[in-house]
C-alpha cells in the first residue's frame, strides 16, 4: 500500500469520526450515519490495499 493511500484512508477515517461525534453531540442522526459510512469506506479501502499487498508479496515470492 502506498503512503498516499494510507494517508488518504486515515484522513477519511478521521473525518468520519469527526462527523460521527458532531452528529451525536448535535443530535443529527444523518451526520452521525454519514460519519460511520466514511469510516466503513476507509476500512474497506484499507482491506483492499492489504489484499493487494499480500498478492504482490506472493507474486514476488514466486518470481524470485
Residue 63: CA atoms inside 13 Å, Cβ hemisphere, count? Answer: 6
| Residue owning grid cell 454519514 | 34
> How many domains does the structure of the chain reveal?
1
d(CA 24, CA 61): 48
Model pLDDT, residue 16: 98
CB 49 within 8 A of CB 9: yes
- pLDDT greater than 90 at residue 27: yes
CB burial class (10 A; 0-12, 13-18, 19+) of residue 54? exposed
Model pLDDT, residue 36: 98
Domain carrying residue 44: 3-63
- pLDDT greater than 70 at residue 1: no
Amino acid at each position: 500500500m502506498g503512503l498516499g493511500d494510507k494517508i488518504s484512508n486515515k484522513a477519511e477515517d478521521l473525518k468520519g469520526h469527526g462527523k460521527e461525534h458532531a452528529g451525536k453531540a448535535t443530535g443529527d442522526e444523518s451526520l452521525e450515519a454519514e460519519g460511520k459510512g466514511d469510516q466503513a469506506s476507509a476500512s474497506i479501502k484499507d482491506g483492499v490495499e492489504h489484499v493487494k499487498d499480500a498478492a504482490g508479496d506472493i507474486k514476488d515470492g514466486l518470481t524470485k
